[in-house]
Structure 1
Amino acid sequence: MASRRIPGDLATGLLLLFSLISTLSAVRFSPPDNDLIACGASSAADLDDGRAFLPDSGLSPPVLRSHGRQISLSNPSPDAVPLHRNARVFACPSSYEFEIKNKGIHRIRLHFYPFSTPEYDLSSARFHVLASGITLLSYFGTSSPVMKEYFINLNEGKLVISFSPADRSSFAFVNAIEVMSAPKDLILDAGRLVKPDEITEFHGLSKQALETLYRVNIGGPKVTPFNDTLWRTWVSDVEFLKLSSASKVVTYSGRIKYQRYGASREVAPDNVYNTARATSGATVPGSNYSMTWEFPVSSGYKYLVRMHFCDIASLALNQLYFNVYLNGYLAYQDFDLSDSTGQILASPYYVDFVVDVDVLELLSISIGPSNLSNPSWIRGLLNGLEIMKINNTMGSLDGNSPVILVSEDPVGRGFGAFLRSLTCGFAFMSLSVIAFMLFLRWRSESRSLMTWSRLPVDVSNDQQTGARTSFFTCEIIGDGGGMTDETCESKIYVGNIDQRVPESNVIKMFSPFGKIISEDFLWHTRGPKRGEPRGYAFIQYSSKEEALLAKTKMNGRFVSGRPLVVRLASEKHLGDTESKFACAETKANDARSTLGQMNRNAKIAVIRNKLKSLEEQGGCATKKPRLLTNSLPPGNKDHSLTGYQESD
């Protein structure tokens, strides 16, 4: 029987069908949330990778909550990226609000391209950026184009990205913002925690905020967003590689075999897995058969190191074994790539490592030979590498202190919001006047009768009675009353506090370290600085261990540009007045029984003499008088005896 030939048009159709199937297998990821905003632009900005960024004004619903200035390049070059031709400038705290349809991990990108106009030189900007309470940037400024990428787990229906100038003379700016849902398999929850003496599991990665620092195509050229399903850029590893003669570049033209439960194209594209660096059995002087890459990083953070592997170099299965090292510590011993991929060559696989960087601001990554390897085999291989910074315990990716932003300008929120703010302002001023009058009345009564104002209404009578004993009385009686300072061990002194930091923020910063029993925020009560904070406070914890933890974590931390000074109140190097005040209330409780035995007139005479001597010296009272809750300075409440509870 004669064989039948396939017609030419049918062969062509089959070829087109095969091409279509191959194209569909590499179709781009379609995120549920995908907001692309061109800040300060008046029309859409179309990029070469096929994406279109919409202007930030005129959107429904609006994403820009408080409008800044729109600025544009007067004569942009024809080859200038559309996103770099416009910017939004903020002279006061402002924010963008995005509706989140699909909760979970989202990728946030911020584009900064500094240019100059007659009014603004964007390279001189200094500002902070926050997103969902996470500090992304602190005192940030740049003179060259930069794109910042973050991954944040969002559990609410909205995302607010806030911009705030670092000081009154500065401003903030942004050229473009991207908010996109991340693929489910992009950030897993667990990784290998590498320590100097052991390797353990790190859980909770998916709940951390991450900043992408490096994304590297090992052994291959730069990969542009057009060739990545998530519009990422992978740079060459040449500038990070040490002793390049110890390795060779391997390329692969075959099909990368993605598996259902393995790495997908959203994890890394074909162009990353098609190239690699490998070490063979050849001896290279000084190499020890190892490949090493070094990356500058900031100390004081943990880092997620994702290593991409795809065996495109071995001639057969189970002929590739090697060790992985991070900062010289063994992170993975005798890694068998064939076993990890289910005995399939050219199948991608990745491993997540978590490592601390404490002192040396350098992250070293090495691939070395295993004892299971054969000299005739490939002795190490790596295809791609990603390094991400993990947020610290203060919820920050930039700096050791949380950034506290002031309220935004209410005018930008509309007339209704402005009217409400104006009404609240008048009410606040009225209350302030009443509080000031009550303070003057209290001051007059305290000078003439030496009586004390009532404590807040939610404090019991027993607590009021114990708190009426003044600092000076405690000091006088404590000198000869045989009282101890045991509880002073659990009290800390907090100094060098910026005057702009309110009392409530001090409590918020120190409450994570233990139960706060009392807190004393010191004020000037006479002289030209009357009513202003003195710049230090005392916080009483329930135990000495909590006080030591607060001292360790917060001493030297920058708040509003100033490093805090945190010490135990009992330490010898505190000033005399501060040390005595720190333990004043502690001694007061023991002094009550002694006071009951003293004649009332004698006690009043002692206190008056003490106050008179201070006035002659021109000093001011050490402790802020305890007033009614509504008579305290704005934004401050007394939590001295009831423990801290944040009020509305």
Structure 2
Amino acid sequence: MGKFLILSLLLMIISGCVQTGESNSNSIFIDCGSTSNETVDGRKWIGDLSSEGNFSVGNLGANINASTATLNGDSVFEPLYKTARLFTNSLNYTFKGVWGNHFVRLHFCPFPFENLNVNESSFSVSANGLRLVSELNVPNEIAYKNLEFQRSGINSSWFSLIKEFIIVVNSEAFVLEFSPSGGSFGFINAIEIVPLVDELFAGSINKVGGNAVSLNVSERGSETMYRLNVGGPEIKPAQDSNGWRMWEVDSSYMITADAGFEIHNSSNITYASMNDSIVAPLPVYETARTMSETEVLEKRFNMSWKFEVHPGFEYLIRLHFCELLYEKARQRVFKIYINNRTAFENFDVFDRAGGINKAYHVDFLEPISSKINTLWIQLGPDTAAGAAGTDALLNGLEIFKLSQNGNLAYIDRFNALEESMGNSKSLTLWIGVGAGLASVVFLAVITILIIYFCRFRREDFTKKSCSRWRAGSSRGATVSNTYARGSLGGGQSVFGSMPTIRVGKWFTLAEILAATDKFDEALLIGVGGFGKVYRGEIDDGTLVAIKRANPQSQQGLTEFETEIEMLSKLRHRHLVSMIGFCDEQKEMILVYEYMGNGTLRSHLFGSDLPPLTWKQRLEVCIGAARGLHYLHTGAERGIIHRDVKTTNILLDENFVAKMSDFGLSKTGPALDHTHVSTAVKGSFGYLDPEYFRRQQLSEKSDVYSFGVVLLEVVCARAVINPTLPKDQINLAEWAMKWQRKKLLHTIIDPRLNDKYCPESLKTFGEIAEKCLADEGKIRPTMGEVLWHLEYALQLHDAWIRTNEAESSCRVESEGAQADEQIGESSNLKASTPTDHLC
């Protein structure tokens, strides 16, 4: 038995060596524009002007060989990039004796060409009739790639471009044809043609969300869009003996790099199948990325990668796996999502590969509509699978674009880049003009302010607007900070620094009475423990909400003081803003921005207002989450709202959500503490049970209350309804029973009429469930809740776009059928008179 294993191993090694040698010996490497040969990266590159090589160059006399002495890059291919073949007419390279599947790589590196502006180059490339690129502008594409990296926070200095295609050659001659666009020119620095001994793709492939389909991928021709070594360093071509492929690092494509950390293990890794040896080199499987801090619930979020792709094509996504840690099945089980849809559930690398340290890959097919230009790959825990760990793992990732009707070319993206660059130039001009005008305005404002200040200094005008307004409470609480009459706005930085002087407009009581028509009850829009809220209109016609404190309510006065204190510190788009105040004749009044659409609750139930769509509900929740996230993180110690509920989430005229009512708010714990010990306050049904039991308040108490809000948004019913059966009275308890069964959709607001993405609702329910965890320490932060809600919105938007595309196709199809029926009917009518006469 031992001899048999040794013999088998030797045969595998010999077979691999033969395949590698055959691949390398039949490869063609061309240094374009060069008269001599060059050894680069361990390979011999033949100058296209030399007499060597099994190829010919057509129409060479009409083209130019260009060269440069220096380049500002550090590519391993730099010696090849110092020469190029320029063409102003059609140029072709013809290869004899090239059969089967091949990697075809085209190298482009723009450098100054004599009498030609490389930025104006534009050309197309075809391979045996398969259109590879159209109207390619290399500098634009390089600039676009650098721009995408910079948007991801990566310092990038790409100076060259490599286009890789996988092409099957089934004729005696293989012709690469380069054609300049009308009046332009093109160039090429180097060409690689590397044979694939085995087919890289299987005959059938799993379609995302569907069954396996047969596509003859190897026969179609494809372009390599991305090839990543996940969790590891860049793999150079010389390290990949079965194709000379380049593997990028993955971090620049991750949405949140901290969502996964790198692991390494280079011992005893083998391929799960002998045929897999061509799929990827072993170094790809020696590193991986796994999920960060899976022991803590709020850290259990998907690892996500986002890619720019070309609309209107089908994509093959290849994921590479190798279990490096666990020695048993069911210890790491996770889900795979592609473009916001579940591609695979209960994925167990150990089980599918056949053990630890076994290299394995899986392919998926994903069509991209003409309206989408992004592709998301996500891996996340499958908590329902009963695995020992809620983790995910990925070693490598490749994305291939498949040809459509003999075409791989796409050009709109780069036209868009040119347009954006043009817009950028216009923007620069306007910025310059604006800066000049701003300087003049700034000087004028400074002058006016100086005159204004001097005038008030002479008049010795100061007013203490909140001067010792004492409530009837036993502790004699006071509110005493100076306001500057007539001053507006200011006071709060985006990072949460707090002003020492409260800022707002000082209103006279006469102005308040005029704005509310003497507190006309017809303008009443709310009542609370603090008093009443009226709709009003101030001098300039602005609608405002005017909160009038009730001096007889000790609770109201205490909350009112807190509200003044908090609103003096806070400025955020998703927090209701205070415009000013009034403190005449024992009245204490606050003036807020008016929220035209009232409370969130009024749009969920208890009124005849039209129901919110699922997208509107998601956007409202996202806005409220942003406001709470700002409260928790915007100040040094943070602020705990303590009364999160749907009546305290207000909607403006554009349905932008804003948190309101900070009367119960509390400054968060110091950095070395986890909670604030305080008496229990809040609204029944929303109260954090841990806070209720221990009287220990933390930011996670707001998270719990927000979880109840999420369920209220889904179910559109009151959080406490005593008229319902006993098991349905408490919304949080009742809804969680259905959520844990993965049946939340059965109790959703029926007015949504199935006009929502099921995957979006699933994500929404999962984050609500995490918010309602019994222990605060395992609830997510508001930042993490916000991330998941935004993801749920992305899922819904993608679902809407897909449905619209399918609906459009269906309408067009029905229209064509109708036209056909009308035509047949017309023909029938035209023939009827003749038949009658006969």
Question: What is the TM-score normalised by the length of structure 2?
Answer: 0.43
The Cα offsets for residues 205-233 of structure 1, whole Å up to 9 and x where unpaired, read as: 11111100111011111111121112111
Q: Say whether residues 1:35 and 2:28 are aligned partners.
A: yes
Q: How does 1:152-551 map to 2 (within 5 A)?
A: 152-167=167-182, 169-195=183-209, 198-229=210-241, 230-264=243-277, 266-279=278-291, 282-283=294-295, 288-342=300-354, 344-358=355-369, 359-371=371-383, 373-374=385-386, 376-377=388-389, 379-393=391-405, 395-398=407-410
Task: Verify the 8 A CA contact 2:228 2:397 in the aligned structure 1.
Answer: yes
Question: What is the TM-score normalised by the length of structure 1?
Answer: 0.55
The DSSP-based 3-state class of the residue aligned with 1:207 is helix
1:280: how far off? 6.4
Seen in structure 2, the aligned counterparts of structure 1 residues 85 and 158 have a Cα distance that, compared at 3 Å, is same
The Cα offsets for residues 70-125 of structure 1, whole Å up to 9 and x where unpaired, read as: 333242359771211111111112211111343x2111111111111323333321
Q: Say whether residues 1:92 and 2:89 are aligned partners.
A: yes
The Cα offsets for residues 593-641 of structure 1, whole Å up to 9 and x where unpaired, read as: 9xxxxxxxxxxxxxxxxxxxxxxxxxxxxxxxxxxxxxxxxxxxxxxxx
**104, 114, 121: which is aligned to 1:108?**
104
Task: Verify the 8 A CA contact 2:33 2:83 in the aligned structure 1.
Answer: yes
Seen in structure 2, the aligned counterparts of structure 1 residues 26 and 281 have a Cα distance that, compared at 3 Å, is farther
Seen in structure 2, the aligned counterparts of structure 1 residues 337 and 191 have a Cα distance that, compared at 3 Å, is same
- Structure number with the bigger relative contact order (C-alpha 8 A, sep ≥ 6) is 1
Name the residue aligned to 2:417.
none
Task: Verify the 8 A CA contact 2:294 2:390 in the aligned structure 1.
Answer: no
Structure 1 residues without counterparts, runs of 5 or longer = 1-17, 401-547, 554-566, 572-581, 594-648
- State how far apart, in whole Å, the 2-side matches of 1:254 and 1:60 are: 41
| Range 138-147 or range 283-292, more displaced | 283-292
Name the residue aligned to 2:690.
none
Q: Aligned residues: percent identity?
A: 29
Seen in structure 2, the aligned counterparts of structure 1 residues 348 and 380 have a Cα distance that, compared at 3 Å, is same
Task: Verify the 8 A CA contact 2:291 2:300 in the aligned structure 1.
Answer: no
Richer in helix (by share): 2
Seen in structure 2, the aligned counterparts of structure 1 residues 94 and 185 have a Cα distance that, compared at 3 Å, is closer
Name the residue aligned to 1:147.
162
Task: Verify the 8 A CA contact 2:107 2:191 in the aligned structure 1.
Answer: yes
Q: Say whether residues 1:133 and 2:125 are aligned partners.
A: no
Seen in structure 2, the aligned counterparts of structure 1 residues 159 and 316 have a Cα distance that, compared at 3 Å, is same
1:22: how far off? 8.3
Name the residue aligned to 1:405.
none
Name the residue aligned to 2:712.
none
**40, 65, 72: which is aligned to 1:71?**
65
- Specify the code of the residue in structure 1 equivalent to 2:110: P
Task: Verify the 8 A CA contact 2:315 2:400 in the aligned structure 1.
Answer: yes
1:289: how far off? 3.6
- State how far apart, in whole Å, the 2-side matches of 1:313 and 1:372 are: 22
The DSSP-based 3-state class of the residue aligned with 2:138 is coil
- Specify the code of the residue in structure 2 equivalent to 1:98: F
- State how far apart, in whole Å, the 2-side matches of 1:570 and 1:288 are: 54
- State how far apart, in whole Å, the 2-side matches of 1:323 and 1:341 are: 16
Seen in structure 2, the aligned counterparts of structure 1 residues 287 and 388 have a Cα distance that, compared at 3 Å, is farther
Task: Verify the 8 A CA contact 2:205 2:214 in the aligned structure 1.
Answer: yes
- State how far apart, in whole Å, the 1-side matches of 2:403 and 2:249 are: 27
**79, 99, 105: which is aligned to 1:82?**
79
Aligned-residue CA RMSD (Å): 3.9
Task: Verify the 8 A CA contact 1:250 1:313 in the aligned structure 2.
Answer: no
The DSSP-based 3-state class of the residue aligned with 1:239 is helix
Richer in strand (by share): 1
The DSSP-based 3-state class of the residue aligned with 2:232 is coil
The Cα offsets for residues 395-440 of structure 1, whole Å up to 9 and x where unpaired, read as: 333359xxxxxxxxxxxxxxxxxxxxxxxxxxxxxxxxxxxxxxxx
1:390: how far off? 0.8
The Cα offsets for residues 507-528 of structure 1, whole Å up to 9 and x where unpaired, read as: xxxxxxxxxxxxxxxxxxxxxx
1:311: how far off? 0.5
The DSSP-based 3-state class of the residue aligned with 1:295 is strand
Q: Say whether residues 1:117 and 2:110 are aligned partners.
A: no
- State how far apart, in whole Å, the 2-side matches of 1:146 and 1:56 are: 23
Larger radius of gyration: 2
Task: Verify the 8 A CA contact 1:256 1:273 in the aligned structure 2.
Answer: yes
- State how far apart, in whole Å, the 1-side matches of 2:235 and 2:284 are: 8
The Cα offsets for residues 468-488 of structure 1, whole Å up to 9 and x where unpaired, read as: xxxxxxxxxxxxxxxxxxxxx
- Specify the code of the residue in structure 1 equivalent to 2:251: V
- State how far apart, in whole Å, the 2-side matches of 1:373 and 1:568 are: 47
Seen in structure 2, the aligned counterparts of structure 1 residues 122 and 327 have a Cα distance that, compared at 3 Å, is same
Seen in structure 2, the aligned counterparts of structure 1 residues 552 and 210 have a Cα distance that, compared at 3 Å, is farther
1:203: how far off? 2.7
The DSSP-based 3-state class of the residue aligned with 1:109 is strand
1:29: how far off? 5.0
The DSSP-based 3-state class of the residue aligned with 1:308 is strand
- State how far apart, in whole Å, the 2-side matches of 1:117 and 1:152 are: 31
The Cα offsets for residues 447-484 of structure 1, whole Å up to 9 and x where unpaired, read as: xxxxxxxxxxxxxxxxxxxxxxxxxxxxxxxxxxxxxx
The Cα offsets for residues 536-591 of structure 1, whole Å up to 9 and x where unpaired, read as: xxxxxxxxxxxx99x979xxxxxxxxxxxxx99989xxxxxxxxxx9xxx99x99x
1:33: how far off? 3.6
Seen in structure 2, the aligned counterparts of structure 1 residues 26 and 319 have a Cα distance that, compared at 3 Å, is farther
Seen in structure 2, the aligned counterparts of structure 1 residues 317 and 194 have a Cα distance that, compared at 3 Å, is closer
- Specify the code of the residue in structure 2 equivalent to 1:44: N
Structure 2 residues without counterparts, runs of 5 or longer = 1-8, 140-158, 413-807
Task: Verify the 8 A CA contact 2:29 2:45 in the aligned structure 1.
Answer: yes
Aligned residues between the structures: 400
Task: Verify the 8 A CA contact 1:281 1:289 in the aligned structure 2.
Answer: no
1:332: how far off? 1.0
Seen in structure 2, the aligned counterparts of structure 1 residues 364 and 286 have a Cα distance that, compared at 3 Å, is farther
Seen in structure 2, the aligned counterparts of structure 1 residues 398 and 33 have a Cα distance that, compared at 3 Å, is farther
- State how far apart, in whole Å, the 1-side matches of 2:337 and 2:362 are: 13
Name the residue aligned to 2:523.
none
- State how far apart, in whole Å, the 2-side matches of 1:29 and 1:308 are: 25
- State how far apart, in whole Å, the 2-side matches of 1:113 and 1:135 are: 21
Task: Verify the 8 A CA contact 1:245 1:284 in the aligned structure 2.
Answer: no
Seen in structure 2, the aligned counterparts of structure 1 residues 99 and 398 have a Cα distance that, compared at 3 Å, is farther
The DSSP-based 3-state class of the residue aligned with 1:30 is helix
The DSSP-based 3-state class of the residue aligned with 1:84 is helix
1:267: how far off? 1.4
Seen in structure 2, the aligned counterparts of structure 1 residues 90 and 569 have a Cα distance that, compared at 3 Å, is farther
